[in-house]
Structures are given as structure tokens and as C-alpha cells.
């Protein structure tokens, strides 16, 4: 066989390079952790809010949350997302002091015993700073580092970050959400934040993007985003999706009182099929089982 027969045509080399660049970008660095996003990853939700772990005082609350977090890891969580302030529609903000009291003791305790990255769900720079000092390896910010000082905290660390889209603020965001083209506007916002955060010195492989389901979006907006998730995966950073138990699922099933697990599983699998790499969920075990079915056909 002549040498020229073994030479790949330019178009094949281009295709290989394109595939390689995709594989290279599917690495997510958060602190000392390097997540290889060649399979869907599960971010398990650990809420430390009074409504999730009522009474019993601070120590009881940390103990309960710790036990819950360890169960999520046993169930297959790849990341733990610790949050101390509810960002549900209509929720009131909590004070900095109260948020720190809720999350820092738990992160300190968790960091000593788990080897998955711990994410801090906050938009407050001081909470980010103290959480990172306590062992958090990732910041999950529903404000995409727009609060003054937040970008600097992340840039001056080695943690990973999730930049999420939100229109308005939690207290009022669901009152009259409006877009001309929700997919284009979310894409534009995420692209701008990606540029701002990389310009501040955060490497591309430390960033994941999130369309922010339910955050200042109507039923039609959420459906349009889920249907058109794939274009958002082309911005150059992996996509994280949170649809677990959200009321937008009830809007889709038409049954507000229904159990939301079946709809949450469907939403998670659809998201993965459309290119999402990390799913933020409450029901880790059930989601992990569903992903095994998807993995079997890859």
C-alpha cells in the first residue's frame, strides 16, 4: 500500500480535531478534583434550611445534613451541593450571619470525610470565601458571579464554578417573566458571563453553565429551553441542569399534587440526551439508575 493511502484526508483530520477539542473541554476542574465528564454526573442537593431540617438546634441540623449527604454519596452522587438560603420563587433572603451558621459547620465536617467535591450554593462573596476556606471545591452561583466581589473570590481560588441564568431575583422573578427569544437571550447571557469570568483569570475548564430552569421563566420559556438545550452546549463549557422536583414539572404533567419523581427522572434523562453533563437532583439513587439505561445504549 502506498504511503499516500495511509494519510488521512484533511477533512478527517478536521473531524478528529473537532472531536478532540470536545473531549478536552469535557474536563471539569474544581479544586483538587478533576471530573471527567464522559458520563452524566450527579450533583446531590443538600439543603440546610430550617424548613428542610427543622428544630433540634444547630448541631442536630449539621448531624442530619451530614447523614443525608453521606447517603447521597452512597447513592451515587459525584458532587454535593450545600445550600443555606432557599432560592425558591417568593423566598425571603436570609442574613449573611445566618447563612454562614447553616453552611460552614457542615462543609467543614463534610470536607474531612468525603472525597467528592463539595459545592457551595450561594451568591454572596463572603459565604463563598469562608466555604472555600472550609473545604468547598466549587461555587454554584444562581447570580453567575454578578454580586460585587464574587468574581474576585473565585478568581483568587482554584475552585470550579457554575454560572446560572436568572431573570430578576427570587422574590419577584416569577411574577411576569418576559423574553423576545428565551433561548437566544439565555445563550447570550451565558456567553457574556463566560467571557467576563475567563477574562478575570478563571480557566475555561473550571466553568460550567446552567440555563436556570424556573428562575424568571414561564412554563413556555422552560419548555423552549429544555427543547433547545443542545445549542447551549456549544458555548464551550459543560452544561449543568436543575429540574428536580421543580413546579415547572407539575406545570408539564398538569398535576400539582402528583409525586414529582417520575417527571424529574424524565427531565434528567431528556437533559442528558440533549447534552447536559451535570444534573442537580434530590433523588440521586433513582437518577443514577435511570442514567444506567442511557449509558447502556452509548
d(CA 212, CA 173): 12
Q: State the nearest-atom distance from the C-beta of 133 to ligand 8Y4, in Å.
A: 21
- Tell me whether residue 128 or residue 240 sits nearer to ligand 8Y4 (CB atom): 240
Strand-strand pairing, 41-47 and 33-36: unpaired
Task: Choose the catalytic residue: 124, 260, 277, 280.
Answer: 280
Q: State the nearest-atom distance from the C-beta of 260 to ligand 8Y4, in Å.
A: 7
- Tell me whether residue 105 or residue 212 sits nearer to ligand 8Y4 (CB atom): 212
Secondary structure (DSSP) of 270-285: HHHHTT--EEEES-HH
Q: State the nearest-atom distance from the C-beta of 287 to ligand 8Y4, in Å.
A: 14
Asked if residue 109 lies in contact with residue 68, where contact means CB atoms within 8 angstroms, the answer is no
Annotation marks residue 24 as catalytic: no
Annotation marks residue 39 as catalytic: no
**211-222 CB burial, b ≥16 within 10 A, e <16:** bbbbbbbbeebb
Q: State the nearest-atom distance from the C-beta of 95 to ligand 8Y4, in Å.
A: 18
Assigned C-alpha cell, 64: 442530619
d(CA 277, CA 298): 14
Q: State the nearest-atom distance from the C-beta of 209 to ligand 8Y4, in Å.
A: 9
- Tell me whether residue 18 or residue 237 sits nearer to ligand 8Y4 (CB atom): 237
For the chain, the straight-line distance linking the first and the last C-alpha, in angstroms and rounded, comes to 34
d(CA 239, CA 236): 9
In the chain, DSSP finds a helix count (H) and a strand count (E) of 12, 10
Strand-strand pairing, 138-141 and 118-121: parallel
- Tell me whether residue 83 or residue 238 sits nearer to ligand 8Y4 (CB atom): 83
Question: Where do contacts with ligand 8Y4 occur on this chain (CB under 6 A)?
Answer: 83, 87-88, 121, 140, 142, 162, 164, 210, 212-213, 240, 242, 245-246, 280
- Tell me whether residue 140 or residue 157 sits nearer to ligand 8Y4 (CB atom): 140
Task: Choose the catalytic residue: 217, 246, 260, 277.
Answer: 246
Which of the residues are catalytic?
Answer: 246, 280
Amino acid at each position: 500500500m502506498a504511503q499516500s493511502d495511509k494519510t488521512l484526508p484533511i477533512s478527517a483530520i478536521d473531524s478528529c480535531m473537532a472531536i478532540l477539542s470536545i473531549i478536552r473541554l469535557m474536563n471539569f476542574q474544581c479544586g483538587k478534583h478533576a471530573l471527567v465528564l464522559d458520563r452524566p454526573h450527579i450533583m446531590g442537593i443538600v439543603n440546610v434550611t430550617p424548613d428542610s431540617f427543622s428544630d433540634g438546634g444547630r448541631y442536630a441540623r449539621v448531624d442530619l445534613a451530614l447523614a443525608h449527604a453521606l447517603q447521597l454519596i452512597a447513592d451515587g452522587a459525584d458532587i454535593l451541593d450545600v445550600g443555606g438560603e432557599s432560592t425558591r420563587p417568593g423566598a425571603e433572603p436570609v442574613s449573611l450571619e445566618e447563612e454562614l451558621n447553616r453552611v460552614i459547620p457542615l462543609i467543614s465536617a463534610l470536607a474531612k470525610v468525603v472525597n467528592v467535591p463539595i459545592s457551595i450554593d450561594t451568591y454572596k462573596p463572603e459565604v463563598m470565601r469562608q466555604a472555600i476556606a472550609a473545604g468547598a471545591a466549587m461555587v454554584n452561583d444562581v447570580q453567575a458571579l454578578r454580586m460585587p466581589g464574587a468574581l474576585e473570590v473565585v478568581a483568587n481560588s482554584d475552585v470550579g464554578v457554575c454560572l446560572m441564568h436568572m431573570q430578576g431575583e427570587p422574590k419577584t422573578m416569577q411574577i411576569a417573566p418576559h423574553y423576545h427569544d428565551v433561548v437566544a437571550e439565555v445563550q447570550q447571557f451565558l456567553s457574556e458571563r463566560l467571557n467576563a469570568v475567563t477574562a478575570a483569570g478563571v480557566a475555561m475548564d473550571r466553568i460550567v453553565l446552567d440555563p436556570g430552569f424556573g428562575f424568571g421563566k414561564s412554563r413556555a420559556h422552560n419548555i423552549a429551553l429544555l427543547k433547545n438545550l443542545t445549542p447551549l452546549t456549544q458555548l464551550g463549557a459543560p452544561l449543568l441542569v436543575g429540574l428536580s422536583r421543580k413546579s415547572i414539572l407539575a406545570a408539564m404533567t398538569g398535576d400539582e399534587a402528583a409525586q414529582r419523581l417520575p417527571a424529574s427522572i424524565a427531565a434528567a434523562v431528556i437533559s442528558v440526551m440533549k447534552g447536559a453533563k451535570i444534573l442537580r437532583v434530590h433523588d440521586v439513587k433513582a437518577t443514577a439508575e435511570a442514567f444506567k439505561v442511557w449509558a447502556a445504549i452509548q
